[in-house]
Structure 1
Amino acid sequence: MFSREFFFAEGGEGIRLSAGDYYDESKGYGFLGLAAQERAADRFTGTGGWNPRETYCPGEGEEAGLWQDGADGVEVKAGFPLRFRAAVPGNGSYAVTVTIRGGREGAQGLMLYTGRRNLIKRDIVIRPGEVFSCRFYVRVCEYIPVVGEGAKEDNSVYVTVLGAGKSSARISGLKIEDAQAPTVFIAGDSLVADYDGLYPYNPIINGGSWGQNLPQYFDGVAFSNQAHGGLTTNCFRDDGHWDIVCKNIRPGDIFLMEFGHNDQKRRYLKAFDQYAANLRRYVRQIREKGAYPMIVTSLSRIPGKNEDGYFDLLEDYALSCLRVGRELHVPVIDLHAGSFRTLCDMGPEITPDYFMDTTHTNDYGALLTAGFIAEEIVRLQAEPLCGMRNDFAGKPWKPDVSLRPADTVSSAQKEERPILPTDLPKLPYADCKGIPQEGILKKAMVKGLLDPCILFFHPFDEIPRGQFLYLFFKAVPMPAKRGYQGRFCDIYRYEFDAQNVQTALDAGLVDETTTPEDRFRPDDGLTCGELAEFMVRSLQPEGKRGLDMQTCEQEAKRLGLLWDGYERNAAVNRADCTAALVRMMEIREKES
């Protein structure tokens, strides 16, 4: 049986360590330093989910000044993570016991994390002379930290203590041992995935998710967050994340999933069609393994507002989840309804303080969301997780707006962006290696046209007209947006693509001859000629964009925007479409 015990204070038992004992592969344990370093594409392996901010540049000897050895344990200055890493034999469940002595002055505002910044306890208060002790479970399991590089094994247990207030972080003792415990496997997208913490820590500009904050509310269970940014109900399966779950899930475990934000950007994953079918398939396969499925509806974006009041574009996907849950007798946490109602009640002045952009939460929003989910699990009596709820009743943090850097744009004005960097050394797409467009697709990634979070690009598939506009408006200066005004009978006012359709209309980019019978044809594949029209019209001054297709083709040819295999009425594939948009962007850059 594996068991290791460490002590960092006077009079403890086990392996004695001090502040200068950094992690050593040969020993398999030690603290992780706080030196400035480049933030790698893999933000988690070897970091415990913490990395330095780009602005963090300690002077010579300054890092050492952050650490302190004391009679009650090793300490690190408030705002910096005290991280310890210990190697373990392999995949499996481990019981971890952390002790922190209060010492002469006590401590308050401490945070305890494990794994990839998964929150175990927060707002810890230790009175002078008292000892805080916490036993929890960790599931060591493969994870895909970088798209395209496959699953990675990191057979380590990470423990982090953070002084989020004025108190320094402190650890006095640590014990890790083999144990058996059920696991909650979490699946989803960037609203659920693990985010690294950046130090010095600032919660209002640090991204976070409910997935990594949920563990604080439950005892006797481990968590394995397999969610990843950019994923749909298809991508989670196709990109290898589902394989990890299948390999590791056991009877009695729990599978908690939230999808929708990215599904709605794919015309072929409509709410009551393939999206619902995918949910049913996950539910059935999880039950076949003897585990318990649970569904969470999508977190609301910052609500929009029109003459009819507040709205969000995910209502159909939430309703689809509720229908599948009712049909298959699966507990459904209606996060969409709860978050939408809460954000509307907050109003437009307060809501942005809980977000990084219009979609992604900061740590304040992540804590608020995780608390709602924990409450709903109890309200719904969703077993077996309901029976594991602990007695923690801490309130979500109220945003401290004084922490927001000066001249920061409101998150309500920031468009949704991928959570991973786009300047990757190579394309992550497994199906683009060696194709003729590979080089220019790499440029498209750097320019922010493509999603760095998925494994397959499907370069030779058609691109639906509705979905094309989402890509197109990343490549051209975005005109002023307004809500959809109802021009076409095949566009629903509150679907994801509706606002982009209205924007294209307002900008004079839509050729009325391509929209017969008042239909935009959002599901039809974009043709080569239609792409040429959109590009050439966008390059003209406003008021002079009413060019017909033949004129646009001639101008596109002159500008070098056409490609080998161009045929006016043939559907353009995703690779050729993206490559043409890159060339259009380069023309704009030269003109400016």
Structure 2
Amino acid sequence: MALMAPQLMSAQRKAVAAPMEDRNQVVDNTLDSLNKARFARPLAGSSRKGDNPVLFLVGNSTMRTGTLGNGNNGQWGWGRFFPDYFDSEKITVENHALGGTSSRTFYERLWEDVLSGVRKGDWVMIELGHNDNGPYDSGRARASIPGIGKDTLHVTIKETGEQRIVYTYGEYLRCFIRETKAKGANPILLSLTPRNAWADADSTVIERVSDTFGLWARQVAKEMKVPFIDLNEISAAKFERFGKEKVKTMFYIDRIHTSEFGARTNAASAAEGLRGLKKCRL
């Protein structure tokens, strides 16, 4: 697979926004080697029963359950519990999320494998953006350009000398959508799971991403005419009802990775959002 559709190459601009700061301020304890990830993650489409559709989950550690996908380190992702909301005799759910990935690195490294198993009538739910920050050209080099524009940035990875073209967060989402639709499958975008981060001194209001990743995903979904689930808002509203002390039990070590309780809550929120979509056959 080419890094990006050829028509995007003409979109390069001179001025590109600086990468976003890592506001999570955590060490991602679930970053896998690609070899281990491919061993632990399912072969795309392998769960399919007869001609039934498959629901593919694309995301990061908030969706994935630990390095081996089994919660053995105490960190759970909501994708582990999402199959509970479906009849496995009619549709199977495959969790292809990988800790530490951004929209950029999932597209560059893992998407081709997932897409190879997608068929007409399948579904792909995408929740990415937690890791779309940091440097463009060093370390994990996983930042996308903020926003949904057509900006591009040519970079040389400092450690390897590899040449890359970086696109906006919105453009990576468009690529997932276009390529899913090209297979005759159905994409759905989600906003991010909320962090354990309170916007006010009294700890009554959870911070949203409604001005950044949530807004951008919503805008791309509207532009591309695909369903959008505001997972960030649905779970954040629950957190505010639960209160600060209860919300602490929903996270694992830091402010972004969830415990089993938190993962189950986010899975329920994703299901609620799905049920609320109009004219969505899923």
Structure 2 Cα separation of the partners of residues 155 and 348 of structure 1: 36
CA distance in structure 2 between the partners assigned to 1:238 and 1:177 by the alignment:
25
Q: State the AA in 2 paired with 1:280.
A: R
The one of the two structures with greater contact order (alpha-carbon pairs below 8 A, sep at least 6) is: 2
Instruction: Tell me how far apart the structure 2 counterparts of residues 155 and 230 of structure 1 sit (CA, whole Å).
Output: 18
**Deviation string, structure 1 residues 407-434 (Cα, Å, up to 9, x no partner):** xxxxxxxxxxxxxxxxxxxxxxxxxxxx
Where 1:230 maps in the other structure, the secondary structure is: coil
Q: Is the Cα–Cα contact under 8 Å of residues 122 and 185 in structure 2 kept in the other structure?
A: yes
Q: How does 1:27-426 map onto structure 2 within 5 Å?
A: 146-148=33-35, 151-152=38-39, 179-195=50-66, 196-198=70-72, 206-219=74-87, 220-239=90-109, 241-265=110-134, 268-273=144-149, 274-306=168-200, 310-312=205-207, 314-315=209-210, 316-356=212-252, 357-381=254-278, 383-385=280-282
Size of the aligned set, in residue pairs, is: 217
Q: CA RMSD in A?
A: 2.9
Equivalent pair of 1:303/1:343 in contact (CA under 8 Å): no
1:185-220: CA deviations, max 9, x gaps?
11111111133233xxxxxx8321111111111111
Deviation at 1:265, TM superposition (A): 4.0
In 2, distance between residues paired with 1:285 and 1:268? 19
**CA displacement at 1:155 relative to structure 2:** 9.0
| Equivalences for residues 399-548 of structure 1 within 5 A | none
Select between 308-317 and 349-358 the one with higher mean Cα deviation.
Answer: 308-317
Specify which structure has the higher proportion of strand: 1
Query: 1:312, CA displacement in angstroms?
Result: 2.3
Counterpart residue type for residue 171 of structure 2: A
Pair 1:222–1:347, CA change in 2 (3 A): same
The residue identity in structure 1 corresponding to 2:248 is P
Distance 1:244 1:177, change over 3 A: closer
Gaps of 5+ in 1: 1-42, 44-143, 157-175, 199-204, 386-592
Q: SS of 1:306's equivalent?
A: coil
**Corresponding residue SS for 1:224:** strand
Percentage identity across paired residues of the two chains = 27
Q: Tell me, what secondary structure is at the counterpart of 1:304?
A: coil
SS at match of 1:349: helix
SS at match of 1:272: coil
Larger Rg, first or second structure (1 or 2): 1
TM-score, length-normalised on structure 1?
0.34
How far residue 338 of structure 1 moved from its aligned partner, in angstroms, is 1.2
Report the Cα distance in structure 1 between the residues aligned to 2:227 and 2:33, rounded to whole angstroms: 32
| CA distance in structure 1 between the partners assigned to 2:230 and 2:169 by the alignment | 17
Q: Cα 1:382–1:183, aligned 2, differ >3 Å: closer, same or farther? A: farther
TM-score (norm 2): 0.69
Kept in 2: contact 1:189–1:227 (CA 8 A): yes
Query: Helix, strand or coil for the counterpart of 2:57?
Result: strand
Q: Which runs of 5+ in 2 are unaligned?
A: 1-29, 136-142, 150-167
Cα offset, 1:303, TM superposition: 2.2
CA displacement, residues 47-97 of structure 1 (integer Å, 9 cap, x when unaligned):
xxxxxxxxxxxxxxxxxxxxxxxxxxxxxxxxxxxxxxxxxxxxxxxxxxx
Describe the shift of the 1:206–1:181 C-alpha distance in structure 2 as closer, same or farther (beyond 3 A): same
Superposed displacement of residue 347, structure 1? 1.8
Q: CA deviation at 1:151?
A: 3.5
Q: Write the distance in 2 (CA, Å) between the matches of 1:154 and 1:276.
A: 26
